């Protein structure tokens, strides 16, 4: 399992399985920048037909061009908030709706298998019901290398 995203909506806790992850500290213009992308699986097998999540089966959370001190992110925590001048986060709902994330706290550490993982907490716009109050989310996922089976011919 790559991970799980939980959005704690007042009416129900929405659970998204993680399909793809990407994390890298890049060096650009003499500074290190953090890039993270988490894409959920669009499977709805575990979701009831009347769930709020049914209208939004997939989403993507992204951090981009966030300045960090060094390329080492293991054991580090980052607080990321967008301002009017600088934007580091993006949410893709894979439809015409817009959403933003706030109060992002990312903690990078190694799991029991020695793979890098992130615990990401924050709040997200209530794109389910349109309420003006952002709702909390928590994401935990690992950045393990995928094993690709080419097969023998």
pLDDT of the residue at 55: 64
Q: What is the pLDDT of residues 11-28, one digit of tens each?
A: 888 888 888 888 888 888
Q: Any idea what DSSP says for residue 99? A: -
| 148 falls within a domain | no
| 87 falls within a domain | yes
pLDDT at residue 146 tops 70: no
What is the spatial distance between Cα 31 and Cα 19, in angstroms, rounded to a whole number?
30
| 147 falls within a domain | no
| 151 falls within a domain | no
Pairing mode, strands 31-40 and 60-68: antiparallel
In the numeric block, the tokens 């109060």 are attached to: 103
pLDDT of the residue at 121: 97
Question: How many distinct structural domains can be found in the chain?
Answer: 1
pTM summary value: 0.85
Q: What is the pLDDT of residues 86-132, one digit of tens each?
A: 999 999 988 878 889 999 999 999 988 888 999 999 999 988 888 89
* pLDDT above 90: percentage of residues in the chain: 46
| 90 falls within a domain | yes
| 73 falls within a domain | yes
| 41 falls within a domain | yes
Query: Domain residues for 76?
Result: 3-142
List strand residue ranges (DSSP E) for the chain, in order: 3-8, 13-28, 31-40, 60-68, 77-80, 89-92, 101-110, 116-124, 135-142
């Amino acid at each position: 399992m790559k991970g799980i995203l939980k959005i704690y909506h007042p009416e129900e806790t929405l659970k998204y399985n993680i399909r793809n992850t990407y994390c890298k500290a890049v060096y650009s213009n003499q500074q290190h920048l953090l890039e993270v992308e988490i894409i959920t699986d669009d499977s709805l097998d575990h979701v009831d037909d009347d769930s709020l999540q049914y209208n939004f089966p997939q989403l993507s959370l992204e951090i981009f061009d966030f300045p960090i001190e060094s390329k080492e992110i293991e054991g580090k925590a980052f607080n990321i908030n967008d301002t009017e001048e600088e934007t580091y986060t993006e949410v893709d709902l894979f439809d015409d709706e817009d959403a933003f994330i706030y109060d992002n706290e990312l903690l990078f550490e190694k799991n029991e298998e020695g793979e890098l993982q992130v615990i990401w907490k924050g709040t997200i716009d209530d794109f389910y019901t349109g309420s003006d109050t952002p709702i909390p989310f928590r994401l935990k996922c690992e950045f393990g290398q995928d094993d690709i089976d080419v097969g023998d011919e």
